[in-house]
Amino acid sequence: MPSAGRGTLILVLRHLAGRVWWYPHHPDPNNVEAGVAVVVGDGGSVVVDAGNGPAAAGRIRAAIEAAGLPPARRLVYSHHHWDHTWGACAWPDVEIVGHAAGARLLEAEARRPWSHAYLRAEVEANPRLLPSFRARAWAMPTWDGFRVVPPHVEFDDTVTLADGVVAHHVGGGHAPDATVVTVPDSGVLLFGDAVYPPPLHLRGTDDTGYDLAVAAKLLGLGDFDWYLGSHEDPHPRTAVVELLSTG
Ligand SMILES: [Zn+2]
Protein backbone atom coordinates (compact mmCIF):
# COMPACT_ATOMS: atom_id res chain seq x y z
CA MET A 1 0.00 0.00 0.00
CA PRO A 2 1.62 3.28 -1.04
CA SER A 3 1.99 5.86 1.68
CA ALA A 4 2.50 8.97 -0.43
CA GLY A 5 -0.36 11.16 -1.61
CA ARG A 6 -1.70 10.37 -5.05
CA GLY A 7 -2.58 12.95 -7.63
CA THR A 8 -2.90 15.75 -5.10
CA LEU A 9 -4.67 18.74 -6.62
CA ILE A 10 -4.52 22.30 -5.39
CA LEU A 11 -7.98 23.63 -6.15
CA VAL A 12 -9.75 26.92 -5.69
CA LEU A 13 -13.20 27.51 -4.27
CA ARG A 14 -16.05 27.71 -6.75
CA HIS A 15 -19.04 29.97 -6.25
CA LEU A 16 -22.39 28.17 -6.40
CA ALA A 17 -25.07 30.75 -5.52
CA GLY A 18 -25.64 33.54 -3.02
CA ARG A 19 -23.31 32.98 -0.09
CA VAL A 20 -22.51 29.34 -0.88
CA TRP A 21 -19.12 28.28 -2.23
CA TRP A 22 -17.58 24.85 -2.50
CA TYR A 23 -14.23 23.14 -2.71
CA PRO A 24 -14.78 20.38 -5.30
CA HIS A 25 -14.39 16.65 -4.74
CA HIS A 26 -11.31 15.01 -6.26
CA PRO A 27 -12.12 14.01 -9.87
CA ASP A 28 -10.55 10.54 -9.45
CA PRO A 29 -13.03 8.52 -7.35
CA ASN A 30 -10.19 6.22 -6.24
CA ASN A 31 -8.92 9.12 -4.11
CA VAL A 32 -12.21 9.26 -2.14
CA GLU A 33 -11.81 12.96 -1.46
CA ALA A 34 -15.19 14.52 -0.66
CA GLY A 35 -15.91 18.14 -1.54
CA VAL A 36 -16.50 20.72 1.20
CA ALA A 37 -19.13 23.48 1.10
CA VAL A 38 -18.55 26.93 2.60
CA VAL A 39 -21.48 29.16 3.66
CA VAL A 40 -20.39 32.73 4.32
CA GLY A 41 -21.94 34.51 7.30
CA ASP A 42 -21.40 37.69 9.31
CA GLY A 43 -19.64 35.97 12.20
CA GLY A 44 -17.50 33.68 10.03
CA SER A 45 -18.13 30.81 7.63
CA VAL A 46 -19.97 27.55 8.21
CA VAL A 47 -18.21 24.65 6.51
CA VAL A 48 -19.97 21.41 5.67
CA ASP A 49 -17.51 18.57 6.26
CA ALA A 50 -13.84 18.61 7.17
CA GLY A 51 -11.94 17.10 4.22
CA ASN A 52 -10.54 13.54 4.13
CA GLY A 53 -7.48 14.32 6.23
CA PRO A 54 -5.39 17.13 7.68
CA ALA A 55 -3.65 17.68 4.32
CA ALA A 56 -6.97 18.20 2.53
CA ALA A 57 -8.23 20.42 5.36
CA GLY A 58 -5.13 22.61 4.96
CA ARG A 59 -5.76 22.96 1.21
CA ILE A 60 -9.40 23.89 1.81
CA ARG A 61 -8.54 26.46 4.51
CA ALA A 62 -5.98 28.02 2.14
CA ALA A 63 -8.63 28.16 -0.62
CA ILE A 64 -11.08 29.93 1.75
CA GLU A 65 -8.41 32.50 2.57
CA ALA A 66 -7.41 32.92 -1.09
CA ALA A 67 -11.06 33.61 -2.00
CA GLY A 68 -11.14 36.35 0.65
CA LEU A 69 -13.90 34.61 2.64
CA PRO A 70 -14.13 34.69 6.46
CA PRO A 71 -12.47 31.80 8.31
CA ALA A 72 -14.59 28.86 9.41
CA ARG A 73 -16.27 29.26 12.78
CA ARG A 74 -18.57 26.23 12.67
CA LEU A 75 -18.18 22.90 10.93
CA VAL A 76 -21.03 20.44 10.47
CA TYR A 77 -20.54 16.79 9.54
CA SER A 78 -22.82 15.56 6.76
CA HIS A 79 -22.13 12.09 8.26
CA HIS A 80 -19.39 10.21 10.09
CA HIS A 81 -17.56 8.60 7.13
CA TRP A 82 -13.79 9.16 7.16
CA ASP A 83 -13.62 11.16 3.92
CA HIS A 84 -15.88 13.80 5.52
CA THR A 85 -14.41 13.85 9.03
CA TRP A 86 -10.70 12.96 9.13
CA GLY A 87 -9.63 16.53 8.41
CA ALA A 88 -11.39 17.82 11.53
CA CYS A 89 -8.27 17.89 13.72
CA ALA A 90 -6.75 20.46 11.31
CA TRP A 91 -9.53 23.08 11.65
CA PRO A 92 -8.51 25.35 14.55
CA ASP A 93 -11.10 27.24 16.61
CA VAL A 94 -14.17 25.69 15.05
CA GLU A 95 -17.20 24.30 16.81
CA ILE A 96 -18.06 20.93 15.25
CA VAL A 97 -21.73 19.99 15.00
CA GLY A 98 -22.92 16.49 14.19
CA HIS A 99 -25.82 14.08 14.55
CA ALA A 100 -25.93 12.03 17.77
CA ALA A 101 -25.77 8.66 15.94
CA GLY A 102 -22.63 9.77 14.13
CA ALA A 103 -21.10 10.99 17.39
CA ARG A 104 -21.27 7.48 18.86
CA LEU A 105 -19.75 5.99 15.69
CA LEU A 106 -16.93 8.56 15.66
CA GLU A 107 -16.16 7.87 19.33
CA ALA A 108 -15.62 4.23 18.34
CA GLU A 109 -13.52 5.21 15.30
CA ALA A 110 -11.36 7.43 17.53
CA ARG A 111 -10.37 4.38 19.61
CA ARG A 112 -8.94 2.45 16.65
CA PRO A 113 -5.10 2.40 16.34
CA TRP A 114 -4.89 4.12 12.95
CA SER A 115 -1.56 3.68 11.13
CA HIS A 116 -0.43 2.33 7.78
CA ALA A 117 0.29 -1.06 9.39
CA TYR A 118 -3.25 -1.13 10.84
CA LEU A 119 -4.77 -0.28 7.43
CA ARG A 120 -2.81 -3.14 5.84
CA ALA A 121 -3.85 -5.63 8.52
CA GLU A 122 -7.53 -4.66 8.19
CA VAL A 123 -7.45 -5.09 4.40
CA GLU A 124 -5.82 -8.52 4.78
CA ALA A 125 -8.65 -9.52 7.11
CA ASN A 126 -11.38 -8.04 4.83
CA PRO A 127 -10.34 -7.42 1.20
CA ARG A 128 -13.56 -5.44 0.53
CA LEU A 129 -12.00 -2.63 2.57
CA LEU A 130 -9.22 -2.16 0.02
CA PRO A 131 -10.59 0.81 -2.00
CA SER A 132 -11.44 2.79 1.13
CA PHE A 133 -8.35 1.89 3.14
CA ARG A 134 -5.97 2.44 0.20
CA ALA A 135 -7.44 5.94 -0.21
CA ARG A 136 -7.01 6.59 3.54
CA ALA A 137 -3.31 5.73 3.17
CA TRP A 138 -3.01 8.17 0.27
CA ALA A 139 -4.81 10.89 2.28
CA MET A 140 -2.55 10.43 5.33
CA PRO A 141 1.13 10.93 4.43
CA THR A 142 1.73 11.25 8.18
CA TRP A 143 -0.27 10.34 11.29
CA ASP A 144 1.47 12.95 13.47
CA GLY A 145 -1.14 14.96 15.36
CA PHE A 146 -4.03 13.05 13.78
CA ARG A 147 -7.13 12.23 15.76
CA VAL A 148 -10.73 11.48 14.92
CA VAL A 149 -12.87 14.27 16.37
CA PRO A 150 -16.43 13.48 17.52
CA PRO A 151 -18.77 16.50 17.27
CA HIS A 152 -18.65 19.07 20.09
CA VAL A 153 -22.38 19.73 19.67
CA GLU A 154 -24.88 16.96 18.93
CA PHE A 155 -28.41 17.12 17.56
CA ASP A 156 -31.19 14.64 16.84
CA ASP A 157 -33.56 16.18 14.30
CA THR A 158 -32.58 19.68 13.17
CA VAL A 159 -30.19 22.39 14.36
CA THR A 160 -29.73 26.00 13.24
CA LEU A 161 -26.06 26.58 12.34
CA ALA A 162 -26.26 30.30 11.51
CA ASP A 163 -28.83 32.79 10.28
CA GLY A 164 -31.21 30.73 8.16
CA VAL A 165 -28.72 27.85 7.74
CA VAL A 166 -30.22 24.63 9.09
CA ALA A 167 -28.92 21.05 9.36
CA HIS A 168 -31.60 18.36 8.98
CA HIS A 169 -31.09 14.69 9.85
CA VAL A 170 -32.39 12.51 6.99
CA GLY A 171 -30.73 9.10 7.66
CA GLY A 172 -31.18 6.45 4.96
CA GLY A 173 -29.09 3.57 3.64
CA HIS A 174 -25.79 5.40 3.17
CA ALA A 175 -25.29 6.32 6.82
CA PRO A 176 -27.61 6.39 9.85
CA ASP A 177 -26.49 9.91 10.72
CA ALA A 178 -26.83 11.35 7.16
CA THR A 179 -27.53 15.08 7.44
CA VAL A 180 -28.33 17.73 4.83
CA VAL A 181 -27.87 21.49 5.15
CA THR A 182 -30.29 24.05 3.70
CA VAL A 183 -29.40 27.66 2.84
CA PRO A 184 -32.78 29.08 1.77
CA ASP A 185 -31.59 32.65 1.05
CA SER A 186 -29.14 31.22 -1.52
CA GLY A 187 -31.50 28.57 -2.92
CA VAL A 188 -29.09 25.75 -2.01
CA LEU A 189 -29.42 22.34 -0.37
CA LEU A 190 -26.19 20.48 0.50
CA PHE A 191 -26.89 16.74 0.64
CA GLY A 192 -23.49 15.17 1.39
CA ASP A 193 -23.66 11.47 0.48
CA ALA A 194 -27.26 11.06 1.69
CA VAL A 195 -28.70 9.75 -1.59
CA TYR A 196 -25.87 7.28 -2.28
CA PRO A 197 -26.00 3.52 -1.61
CA PRO A 198 -24.13 2.15 1.44
CA PRO A 199 -20.31 2.07 1.37
CA LEU A 200 -18.87 -0.77 -0.77
CA HIS A 201 -17.91 -3.08 2.09
CA LEU A 202 -21.43 -2.85 3.57
CA ARG A 203 -23.31 -2.96 0.26
CA GLY A 204 -25.80 -5.74 -0.56
CA THR A 205 -26.59 -6.82 -4.12
CA ASP A 206 -29.75 -4.66 -4.17
CA ASP A 207 -27.94 -1.48 -3.04
CA THR A 208 -26.82 -0.09 -6.36
CA GLY A 209 -28.61 3.11 -7.27
CA TYR A 210 -29.58 6.33 -5.58
CA ASP A 211 -31.71 6.15 -2.41
CA LEU A 212 -35.01 7.45 -3.79
CA ALA A 213 -36.68 7.67 -0.38
CA VAL A 214 -33.98 10.10 0.72
CA ALA A 215 -34.20 12.00 -2.59
CA ALA A 216 -37.94 12.47 -1.95
CA LYS A 217 -37.13 13.79 1.53
CA LEU A 218 -34.78 16.37 -0.01
CA LEU A 219 -37.55 17.69 -2.26
CA GLY A 220 -39.83 17.87 0.80
CA LEU A 221 -37.43 20.23 2.61
CA GLY A 222 -38.26 23.13 0.31
CA ASP A 223 -37.89 24.48 -3.18
CA PHE A 224 -34.16 24.97 -3.82
CA ASP A 225 -32.42 25.89 -7.07
CA TRP A 226 -29.29 23.79 -6.45
CA TYR A 227 -28.64 20.40 -4.86
CA LEU A 228 -24.95 19.81 -4.16
CA GLY A 229 -23.51 16.46 -3.05
CA SER A 230 -20.02 15.64 -1.81
CA HIS A 231 -18.77 13.65 -4.80
CA GLU A 232 -20.36 15.31 -7.83
CA ASP A 233 -21.12 18.65 -9.41
CA PRO A 234 -24.27 20.62 -8.44
CA HIS A 235 -27.65 19.55 -9.82
CA PRO A 236 -30.61 21.84 -10.54
CA ARG A 237 -33.91 20.90 -8.88
CA THR A 238 -35.22 19.50 -12.17
CA ALA A 239 -32.54 16.76 -12.03
CA VAL A 240 -33.78 15.59 -8.61
CA VAL A 241 -37.40 15.64 -9.79
CA GLU A 242 -36.37 13.64 -12.87
CA LEU A 243 -34.48 11.09 -10.75
CA LEU A 244 -37.67 10.42 -8.80
CA SER A 245 -39.90 10.22 -11.86
CA THR A 246 -37.63 7.77 -13.70
CA GLY A 247 -36.16 5.90 -10.72
ZN1 LIG B 1 -20.25 8.57 2.93
pLDDT of residue 208: 65
DSSP state of 185: G
Contact predicate 121/129, CB 8 Å: no
Rounded to whole angstroms, the Cα distance separating 143 from 137 reads 10
Phi, psi dihedral angles at 233 (to 5 degrees): -80, 165
Ligand 1 center to residue 63 CA distance, Å? 23
Neighbours of 211 (CB within 10 A): 22
Ligand 1 center to residue 193 CA distance, Å? 5
Ligand 1 center to residue 196 CA distance, Å? 8
Contacts 24+ apart (CB under 8 A), 120-127: 120/1, 123/1, 126/201
One-letter identity of residue 91: W
Which of 30, 74, 19 is closest to 52 using CA atoms? 30
Ligand 1 center to residue 93 CA distance, Å? 25
Ligand 1 center to residue 135 CA distance, Å? 13
pTM, 2 dp: 0.93
Beta bridge pairs of residue 236: 226
Which of 94, 229, 238, 129 is closest to 170 using CA atoms? 229
Neighbours of 224 (CB within 10 A): 21
Ligand 1 center to residue 129 CA distance, Å? 14
Neighbour-count burial of 120, counting CB atoms closer than 10 A to its CB (0-12 exposed, 13-18 middle, 19+ buried):
middle
Ligand 1 center to residue 174 CA distance, Å? 6
pLDDT of residue 29: 85
Domain 14-246, second-level architecture:
4-Layer Sandwich (3.60)
Ligand 1 center to residue 78 CA distance, Å? 8
- Interval 138-150: pLDDT, tens: 999 999 999 999 9
Neighbour-count burial of 43, counting CB atoms closer than 10 A to its CB (0-12 exposed, 13-18 middle, 19+ buried):
exposed
Chain-centre distance of CA 165, in angstroms? 17
Beta bridge pairs of residue 99: 155
pLDDT tens digit at each of 247 positions of the chain: 343 455 666 678 999 999 999 999 888 888 888 999 999 998 899 999 999 999 999 999 999 999 999 999 999 999 999 999 999 999 989 999 999 999 999 999 999 999 999 999 999 999 999 999 999 999 999 999 999 999 999 999 999 998 899 999 999 999 999 999 999 999 999 999 999 988 777 777 666 688 899 999 999 999 999 999 999 999 999 998 888 887 5
pLDDT of residue 2: 40
pLDDT of residue 200: 74
Rounded to whole angstroms, the Cα distance separating 189 from 122 reads 36
> Which of left, alpha, beta for 143 (phi over 0: left; psi -120 to 50: alpha)?
alpha
pLDDT of residue 42: 85
Which of 213, 229, 219, 242 is closest to 29 using CA atoms? 229
Domain-wise residue ranges, the chain: 14-246
Which of 119, 114, 143 is closest to 1 using CA atoms? 119
Ligand 1 center to residue 34 CA distance, Å? 9
Rounded to whole angstroms, the Cα distance separating 81 from 66 reads 28
